[in-house]
Amino acid sequence: MVIALCLLIGIIAGVMGGLFGIGGGIVIVPMLIAMFGFSQLKAQGTSLVALLAPVGLLGLMNYVRSENADLAKGAWIAGGFIVGAFLGSKIAVGLDDLLMRRLFAGFLVAVAVYLFFLKK
């Protein structure tokens, strides 16, 4: 079940990445907090595993050293992200620019409202 949830997070983040060019901070971090009860720091560290390991290796090392990254979950999310990014980009290239901008803005507002009222 954990692997399925990780893949789901990755696919959703991938679709959002393919649609809007976003992923880690705006999609994966809030989902890790909601689905696994991660702290903000652990969610950020695990997001780096999934997205930025080659680029953000030095930052990731600090999260790993402080035990604020789940390497296995981050790797599974990365696998789902690959599939989701492909699917999201296929959708995005067929949509009108104005519609895309409005969808993106609506998504950002929804995430902001969710994080504002989150009580964890």
Task: Map out the domains of the chain as residue ranges.
Answer: 2-117
pLDDT average, residue stretch 96-105 = 87
Per-residue pLDDT tens for 47-77? 878 877 666 777 788 889 999 999 999 999 8
- Buried b / exposed e over 88-104, threshold 16 CB at 10 Å, is beeebeeeeeeeeeeeb
- Predicted model pTM: 0.68
Please, what is the Cα angle at 63 between 12 and 57, to 5 degrees?
A: 80
What pLDDT does 35 receive? 92
Is the pLDDT reported for residue 5 higher than 90?
Answer: yes
